[in-house]
Chains A and B, each alone.
Chain A
Amino acid sequence: MIILGISALYHDSAAAIIINGDIIAAAQEERFTRKKHDNNLPINAIKYCFEAANISMIDVDEVVYYDNSLLTLDRFMSNVSELGNEADFLLETKYKGLIKSRLSIDKLIRNEFAVIGKKDTLSVCEHHISHAASAFYPSPYESAAILTIDGVGEWATTTIGIGHGNKIEILKEIDYPHSLGLLYSAFTSFCGFKVNSGDYKFMGLAPYGEPVYYDLLKENVIDIKQDGSYRLNMEFFEFHKGSHMTGRKMEELFGGPAREIESKITKREMDIAASVQKITEEVVAGLARYALELTKEKNLVMAGGVALNCVANGKLIKNGVVRNLWVQPAAGDAGGALGCALYSYYQINNNSRKVGVKDSQKGSYLGPEYSSEEIGEFLKKNNYTSQFYDDKKELFRDVAGEISKGKVVGWFNGRMEFGPRALGNRSILGNPMDTEMQSKLNLKIKYRESFRPFAPSILKEKYSEYFECNIESPYMLLCENVVESRRLPFNREELMKTHQGDMLPVVNTARSDVPAITHVDYSARIQTVSEDTNPDYYHLIKEFEKITGCPILINTSFNVRGEPIVCSPEDAYKCFMRTEMDILVLGNYVLKKTEQRKFDDIDDWRKEYVLD
């Protein structure tokens, strides 16, 4: 049985294909169109899925869309009614799009592909059921409590459910406008970052601040019950009006206007970030506790945009809320494509589900890959100087040697990752022991704010030598602290005072013997790398360890600020030449910057990509 899942027309369009329950391929549309968070019908991603499965549209048994647009319309109309004469903006902007696209999704697909699968019909799956399915079905658990938290689907913004065998059931929900995801986004925006793409920055900013606004928020903005359920005080929010996330009342509460985009980040923003992070952790922990209690389960699975908050996830483990946690790596809306397809296969078509020791997400390496021949062809056609390594062992050794000398490497190898994190197949790699690496990577390679931390990829078996926790984190979805024995004395508050809130000198002050991946609160967003899931990446790190004694590499996504992660060798080469990256690895080929001709960049990429 072949099932195609589609996520589209909200944030992150994607397609996924499963054959007899096996996840064959999944990819986000942005990677192909090079438009970040592309939310159009994912034509390219669908075509890629067909290619990977070696089929065409007419072979597909079920086509499923991850959201029920009618329910969204219902919410929309309630929203209009709530607003009364303030509904102006909403009516004139949002709903035309809703009618034209989401309610016509079947039409859009038919226009492009002539038919919708074998039966020429489209099935729909509720938004949070798609998230729940994406969290439970690929997990390594026979049964689990399911928690989904995002901005909003149709009505639901948070759900608690249970998964058992091949069935899932939603038990409780919290509805729009009460939304932890939207609260987070509202403050992301209030602090001058873009909603969605700026959420990570906002999270990265939190450790620089103190949660001094925590009480203020709880007294005014959000009411959190003992069982983790919550409600927002809508007097402080404007997102339901369609144009702004927050308004004057929020500015009054925080004693001044919202921060302008790209302006200087002040202590207030850092403190707001710390306070909102604390609220988020409290709600997530409350929801998780209640979900486990309600379902009497020991395992917890999560999805929805908020499940990408690796700091909150890490605390669930650290504080003993849950022992076994599995988070869908494509936790945002892209993952809905996979979820709705799996839901159709297991729940609707009642196929049996076998659970292995490992999850069935395949390391989330579900995207396009390029053969050595294809890469060779590309290099030859463009006459780019490169060195071919027949023996990968040699390549790992040479590249690891360069990284140990402080060189920055673009690493393009195997299948592209599904989900927002680069997991060692489309990654930029660097030496984590280098004190200046964090700001060098941020400013010269990624062209982004210097305060943003980098993530470590560590050999799985070396995990506990460096970090305080002992559970695997193959998808970079857990934050843990560096073990005390490796920490260096570091007083963030004092440093911030000394440098009058300037984050750069603080970032450049070493905090451990792996400074580039240790955040200012000693935390790190970890990827554990195992030999069976990604052997090439594993052996590269292993070589680096042989040279330096350190089993860790800095791993940041292969892109510049505002650009989607690279998909093809051509994207990778462009990104390589546009930045101060030293070396590019394309499968078995190694390219050195010093050996490349001047790059005639026809497009000004700084204009090509809107800053995120």
Chain B
Amino acid sequence: MFLTKEIENIKNKVTNNSKNVFPIIDKSTNSYYINYSDSIHQKESCCEYCSDFLEFKKELIELWSESDNKIFYNDVLSSIMQVRDDEESIIEAIQLYNYMM
């Protein structure tokens, strides 16, 4: 089993903090399009080429640290930086994420 205890912890936290992340149907609106440039997930700089994948992640953190979600992204992505060599740090990242939610 993969880090059962940690997942359990996350689940509990998520359950306590759960809210709708996905938008639901709203028949009163005229359009469901999102402007690409407004999308928090996909700022223009996200798709710029970076000299290195890791370098790219750093840039992304910088970019996002200027946004409203500052703490969340900064912390989460800092954790992700180590993730590739450390499975447990992703758990921390998710915990952090949920905490911020």
Contact = CB atoms under 8 A, between A and B. Distances in A.
A602 interface: no
A29 B34 CA distance: 34
Contacts of B57: 70
B49 A84 contact: no
B21 A81 contact: yes
Among B19, B33, B76, B84, the most chain A Cβ lie within 10 Å of the Cβ of: B33
B62 interface: no
A85 B98 CA distance: 12
Contact of B18 (A84, A103, A129, A172): A84
Interface residues of A, number: 65
A159 interface: yes
A178 B34 CA distance: 12
A465 to B, nearest CB: 42
Among B26, B41, B55, the most chain A Cβ lie within 10 Å of the Cβ of: B41
Interface stretch (A136-144, A195-203, A219-227, A366-374): A219-227
A88 B12 CA distance: 11
Contacts of A62: 49
Contacts of B31: 225, 227, 229
Interface in A42-101: 62, 64, 68, 70-71, 73-75, 77-85, 87-88, 91-92, 95-96, 99
A355 interface: no
Contacts of B42: 71, 126, 154-156, 173
A83 B90 CA distance: 18
Given A81-B14, A126-B47, A173 B52 contact: no
Interface in B11-28: 11-12, 14-15, 17-27
B19 to A, nearest CB: 8
A105 interface: yes
Contacts, number: 158
Interface string B26-63: 11011111111001011000111111111111001000
A352 interface: no
B21 A82 contact: yes
A77 to B, nearest CB: 5
A297 B37 CA distance: 21
A261 interface: no
Interface residues of B, number: 55
A75 B94 CA distance: 12
Given A79-B21, A84-B11, A223-B25, A122 B47 contact: no
B10 A231 contact: no
A360 interface: no
A123 B49 contact: yes
A105 B52 CA distance: 12
Contacts of B2: 92, 96
A88 B11 contact: yes
Nearest to B48: A348
A10 interface: no
Interface in A125-173: 125-126, 129, 154-156, 159-161, 170-173
Given A88-B11, A103-B83, A125-B47, A81 B98 contact: yes
A175 interface: yes
A87 B29 CA distance: 30
A279 B71 CA distance: 42
Contact of B33 (A77, A83, A161, A229): A229
A91 to B, nearest CB: 5
A73 B89 CA distance: 14
Interface string A502-540: 000000000000000000000000000000000000000
A104 interface: yes
A474 to B, nearest CB: 31
A87 B11 contact: yes
A80 B87 contact: no
Contacts of A232: 25
A134 to B, nearest CB: 15
A21 to B, nearest CB: 17
Contacts of B33: 160, 172-174, 227, 229
The 9 closest A-B pairs by CB, nearest first: A84-B18, A229-B32, A172-B33, A82-B21, A123-B49, A126-B47, A170-B36, A85-B15, A106-B53
20 contacts: A70-B56, A78-B22, A81-B19, A87-B14, A91-B11, A92-B2, A95-B90, A99-B83, A103-B80, A106-B54, A121-B51, A122-B52, A154-B42, A155-B39, A171-B35, A171-B36, A223-B27, A227-B30, A233-B24, A344-B49
Given A85-B11, A103-B80, 17 more contacts: A68-B46, A70-B77, A71-B41, A81-B19, A95-B90, A103-B84, A121-B51, A121-B53, A124-B56, A126-B47, A161-B36, A171-B36, A172-B34, A175-B41, A178-B32, A227-B31, A231-B25
